[in-house]
Homo-oligomer: A and B are copies of this chain.
Amino acid sequence: MKRAKRITIKDIAEHAGVSKSTVSLVLQNSPLIPEGTSEKVRKSIDALGYVYNRAAANLRTRRSHIVGVIISDIGNPFFSELVTSMENSLEPHGIVVMLTNIAENPERQRKAIATLMEHNVDGLFLSPARNATIDDLGPLKNSSIPAVFVNRYIPDYACNYVGGDNVLGTRMAVEYLLDQGHREIAFIGGDEGSSSRKERVQGYLDAFRKSGIEPPAGLNILTTGNRKGGYSGIRSLLDEGVRPTAAFCYNDVIALGVMLGLESRGIKPGGDFAVFGFDDISEAELWTPSLSTVAISPETLGKRAAALLLEKIENNSTNERILVSPRLMIRESSGDSL
Q: Are A51 and B286 within 8 A (Cβ)?
A: no
In A35-62, the 8 Å CB interface with B consists of 49, 51-56, 58-59, 62
Chain B CB within 8 A of A288 CB: yes
Q: Are A66 and B260 within 8 A (Cβ)?
A: no
Contact of A256 among B52, B96, B286 (CB under 8 A): B286
Please, how many angstroms separate the alpha-carbon atoms of A6 and B120 in the complex? 11
Please, how many angstroms separate the alpha-carbon atoms of A260 and B80 in the complex? 24
Known A-B contacts A4-B144, A144-B4, A263-B288; A99 and B87 likewise in contact (beta carbons under 8 Å): yes
Residues of B within 8 A of A98 (CB): 66, 96-99
Residues of B within 8 A of A1 (CB): 316
Q: Mark A1-19, 1 if CB is under 8 A from B, else 0.
A: 1011010000000000000
Q: Mark A77-100, 1 if CB is under 8 A from B, else 0.
A: 100110110011001001011111
Chain B CB within 8 A of A265 CB: no
**Among A3, A51, A143, A256: residue with most chain B CB under 10 A:** A51
In A230-286, the 8 Å CB interface with B consists of 256-257, 260, 263, 282-283, 286
Q: Are B288 and A54 within 8 A (Cβ)?
A: no
Chain B CB within 8 A of A156 CB: no
Q: Mark A110-136, 1 if CB is under 8 A from B, else 0.
A: 000011111110000000000000000
- Interface size of A by Cβ–Cβ distance < 8 Å? 55
Contact of A120 among B49, B54, B83 (CB under 8 A): B54
Residues of B within 8 A of A119 (CB): 54-55, 66, 96
Chain B CB within 8 A of A216 CB: no
Residues of B within 8 A of A194 (CB): none
Chain B CB within 8 A of A227 CB: yes
Known A-B contacts A74-B80, A98-B96; A59 and B55 likewise in contact (beta carbons under 8 Å): yes
Please, how many angstroms separate the alpha-carbon atoms of A91 and B6 in the complex? 28
Chain B CB within 8 A of A155 CB: no
**Among A53, A99, A282: residue with most chain B CB under 10 A:** A99
Chain B CB within 8 A of A325 CB: no
Please, how many angstroms separate the alpha-carbon atoms of A36 and B6 in the complex? 40
Residues of B within 8 A of A282 (CB): 75
Residues of B within 8 A of A181 (CB): none
Please, how many angstroms separate the alpha-carbon atoms of A74 and B117 in the complex? 25
Known A-B contacts A87-B101, A97-B98; A77 and B74 likewise in contact (beta carbons under 8 Å): no
Contact of A55 among B64, B77, B257 (CB under 8 A): B64
Q: How far is the CB of A162 from chain B (nearest CB, A)?
A: 20
Q: Are B101 and A99 within 8 A (Cβ)?
A: no
Please, how many angstroms separate the alpha-carbon atoms of A58 and B316 in the complex? 28
In A163-177, the 8 Å CB interface with B consists of none
For this complex, 20 residue pairs linking A to B, each with C-beta atoms less than 8 Å apart, are A1-B316, A3-B62, A49-B139, A51-B143, A54-B118, A55-B58, A55-B59, A55-B64, A74-B83, A75-B80, A75-B81, A87-B99, A87-B101, A91-B108, A94-B115, A96-B115, A96-B116, A96-B119, A256-B286, A257-B286
The 10 closest A-B pairs by CB, nearest first: A80-B80, A99-B99, A54-B118, A55-B55, A52-B118, A55-B58, A55-B120, A74-B84, A54-B119, A51-B117
